[in-house]
Amino acid sequence: MKTLRISNDAHQKLTAILLPSLPPELLTETQNFIETNRQLGYSSREELIRDSIRKQLRALKEESIYLEVPKEESEKIRQALNDLNTEFLSVDDFINQQIRNLLQMHQELIKEKEDFERKAPQ
């Protein structure tokens, strides 16, 4: 794939053509977000918008759900995980492990219940 360098002005004009239904203030907010959060890995508004649309579509099609954790609490959890020297890499990792553990415990409960019902006299 070849890369074409264009001026910021040309980029903004092309973006306006490709994303005409988005208000300019939303595009500006998106660009500012990308610039102040480079660690997230987004290199363009289009990339962030595509990723956001994909996530929203998965949620709308009920393929996944997204849980909101207030940032203040998330930071406290992250710090606690770090201070307690846990094996969890992130808050997401911790939450996902808790979900897996609960589902495994539930499966074991179901199996025990089925075993009990099979052994019970009829």
Q: What is the pLDDT of residues 72-83, one digit of tens each?
A: 999 999 899 999
What length is written for the chain?
122
pLDDT tens-digit series, residues 2-56: 677 878 777 777 766 766 678 888 888 999 999 998 888 888 888 998 888 888 8
Which residues fall within 8 angstroms of residue 111, CB to CB, at 6 or more apart?
A: none
**Closest of 56, 45, 54 to residue 16, by C-alpha:** 45
Q: What is the pTM of this model?
A: 0.50
| Neighbouring C-alpha atoms within 13 Å toward the C-beta of 82 | 7
